[in-house]
Structure 1
């Protein structure tokens, strides 16, 4: 019965993806009313995260950010489903790419690269960038628990333009393997996700003690693959700029901690500028730093 229900839901989502954008925008507006005013989807999590991240803001300012966030959340939810059927022509109208010439220069040198992304604006459409990049795009993901049908649907959308989905536990091995193939790889990591509390990398982020996966710095140090920031800027509803910003051309020569610290600094500044576009409904600060794990200091201002 569960499988039948999942298949019916996936069929509905596929049909939904063929609706034109004006209809999707209308549905998104309706979803906002339901999620925010009726259901109150994760409102406690969202408001708590915002208050802790911005203690200097008034309650009215926090409420304004939260309302904008919920509207944006509904938009990107439907945009993600649209990835199932959207055409390349439509994507070209809605995504402008900057910095690809830098990554292509590394491809010509037969060098793989590391792309550190975040759950900010529409990260799902980045799977379509494979058609513009010579590198093999390797998108790291957390497997969907107990729902194989839904996982196949999501991975099918992400891989329809040629990207390869890589389970998080295989990310380091895959990055190293593609460093030795004829076609260099570009491993995309959503590095703002929450690891287990016993991770060694804890620092301050948005005014709170926060753990980060140390995998990106380990991969960068071992492979010396150039590290880029993947930044998506919103121009309007379903219209974005995607920026590839080089952070470390030779990460093996850097202090390993500085790789993540630089990424965190850049990400924090972006979120502080337009906070409504980050994923505030995620329980990012659900862990407390264990005793015995040292808090890593942020980079001094002059080194940012």
Structure 2
């Protein structure tokens, strides 16, 4: 495609999708708000989605009941309301990332375990980093500033909304990491590996996989499908697998932890690696369950007949 055609497409984007571009302009305006105003807006949003909209109330309640069958109806209700408050905060914090300054970043987030992650990635020509939808996962893109090797951040491209997709990718890549679309993740990673250029391949690996997946396991008391890609890449490259989780220290303040999950993945099978990842996720979720993304339809698929459940 010629340069002129590309420029014409960009210039006509607003007029072809004015509603989507207007939303992006609004998000950029929100990102400029100081934190005091941002959390005031979050408090208002909390009342709206809890009492008026009742955002995915049935989905959240069902997910919590399955995950914590020992809890009473009232305890589930309290937990759901805590989740709503967290959800409002983390949604606006994710938007704020677009205009988050380095000074603000240093005041609000710290890292633990990055030295081992960086050292092993350089020694082994790379590392696999498995994260999940817990606390503020978006701000972890600043991990690149703690590494001497390249951070590749795998993401799901937003369909039919290029304006929003561009907004999110610009926010994620502002600290120097490279956002890579999920379908291209393995190819891009192996290109770096082939150049013997160490990279940390970061994946939000608790995404809902298709029902046709061959990796099914119990996750928070329910059967769930998992993508095979992360563990297959780890086993093929024999690069160490690390686990990331975010600990909330206060409103808008987090510490990101990095722990070695599997040192020699080639010596293990896919099932063992996946079960270790699930075990760590459940351990973190159960410590403060309101900070997991319960509104996500994580358990929407049913395991096909004939597909074994990993034990």
Name the TM-score, length of structure 1 as normaliser. Answer: 0.95
Q: Which residue of 1 aligns with 2:67?
A: 53
**Runs of 5+ unmatched residues, structure 2:** 1-14
What is the alpha-carbon distance in structure 2 between the residues aligned to residue 163 and residue 52 of structure 1? 37
Q: Which residue of 1 aligns with 2:276?
A: 262
Going from structure 1 to structure 2, the CA distance change for 1:107 and 1:214 (only over 3 Å counts) comes to: closer
In the TM superposition, what are the counterparts of 1:214-293 in structure 2 within 5 Å?
A: 214-293=228-307
- Is contact 2:122–2:149 with CA below 8 Å preserved after alignment? no
1:173-212 deviation per Cα after TM superposition (whole angstroms, max 9, x unaligned): 2222222235311111111110110100011111111111
Q: Which residue of 2 aligns with 1:117?
A: 131
Q: Which residue of 2 aligns with 1:301?
A: none
> Are 1:161 and 2:182 matched, yes or no?
no
What is the alpha-carbon distance in structure 2 between the residues aligned to residue 283 and residue 256 of structure 1? 24
The count of residues paired between Structure 1 and Structure 2 equals: 297
In the TM superposition, what are the counterparts of 1:1-304 in structure 2 within 5 Å?
A: 3-109=17-123, 111-297=125-311
**Runs of 5+ unmatched residues, structure 1:** 298-304
1:83-104 deviation per Cα after TM superposition (whole angstroms, max 9, x unaligned): 1111111111111100011022
What is the alpha-carbon distance in structure 2 between the residues aligned to residue 225 and residue 196 of structure 1? 26
Q: Secondary structure at the match of 2:39?
A: helix
What is the alpha-carbon distance in structure 2 between the residues aligned to residue 292 and residue 256 of structure 1? 18
- Is contact 1:131–1:162 with CA below 8 Å preserved after alignment? yes
What is the alpha-carbon distance in structure 1 between the residues aligned to residue 102 and residue 237 of structure 2? 33
Name the TM-score, length of structure 2 as normaliser. Answer: 0.93
Q: Secondary structure at the match of 2:239?
A: coil
- Is contact 2:124–2:239 with CA below 8 Å preserved after alignment? no
- Is contact 1:130–1:161 with CA below 8 Å preserved after alignment? yes
1:113-158 deviation per Cα after TM superposition (whole angstroms, max 9, x unaligned): 1000000000000112212211211111111011111101111111
Runs of 4+ in 1 over 6 A off after TM superposition: none
- Bigger CA drift: 9-18 or 190-199? 9-18
- Is contact 1:216–1:260 with CA below 8 Å preserved after alignment? no
Alpha-carbon offset, residue 21 of structure 1: 0.6
What is the alpha-carbon distance in structure 1 between the residues aligned to residue 195 and residue 72 of structure 2? 53
- Is contact 1:17–1:81 with CA below 8 Å preserved after alignment? yes
What is the alpha-carbon distance in structure 1 between the residues aligned to residue 307 and residue 61 of structure 2? 28
- Is contact 1:110–1:183 with CA below 8 Å preserved after alignment? no
